[in-house]
Amino acid sequence: MEKVSDYIFVTNAIPQNVCVDVTKDIQSKEWDKHSWYNYAASNYSSESEKELDVQQTSSELQETLAPFVCSAIEDYMIKFAPQNDDRIKSFIKTFTPIRFNRYTAGTMMRNHYDHIHSIFDGNHKGIPILSILGLLNDGYEGGDFVFSGKHVVPLKAGDILVFPSNFMYPHEVKEVTKGERYTFVAWAF
């Protein structure tokens, strides 16, 4: 592997009927504005404009999507980690609860990288090693997933995107211009 983009992995893992059912379920539930952690102020806040909506998963939806997330993580590790070394095989133990994202027209995810510390404030201990994003629907415009301001990753409903959760993978979701884009995210550690 020679380029950072070599470690970006996409697999079409989620059946369409599951995408449709999950999307219908989350559409009817309550959403909150996404918030960013400010290291200097040691607090969370939302941007005043273009901020997407987020929703925590339920145990039922976590159980529904977990097999597809596990399969994508396993495929990623088989592709990128030598399977003859037992220490490397086990570098991922679990992943966080899923968070759903809703992008309506005019919303986006600003450029960032996934140094998520808040997921480890309680019982879980570790660092995020892999970021996982699942796309649940098509039928919207805009909303491209972009690494480093230039590497667009084409995604379609049912795709799971897996990539390292470190500073070398700054990413963003461009503004949705029409329709609604539904995704979920989780972090493996």
Q: Tell me the pLDDT tens digit for each residue of 106-150.
A: 999 999 988 776 666 666 667 789 999 999 999 999 999 999 999
- Under the banding of pLDDT at 50, 70 and 90, the label for residue 2 is low
> What percent of the chain stands above pLDDT 90?
70
| pLDDT of 6 above 80 | yes
58 against 37, higher pLDDT: 58
DSSP class of 14: S
3-state secondary structure of 89: helix
| pLDDT of 36 above 90 | no
Q: What is the distance between the alpha carbons of residues 161 and 171, in angstroms, rounded to a whole number?
A: 12
Residues for the chain: how many in total? 189
Under CATH, what is the fold of the domain 4-29+50-188?
Answer: Jelly Rolls (2.60.120)
| pLDDT of 34 above 80 | yes
Q: What is the pTM of this model?
A: 0.91
- Under the banding of pLDDT at 50, 70 and 90, the label for residue 66 is very high
| pLDDT of 84 above 90 | no
Structure tokens at 32: 């909150």
Region 45-73 average pLDDT: 93
Q: What angle do CA 126, 159, 177 make, to 5 degrees?
A: 100
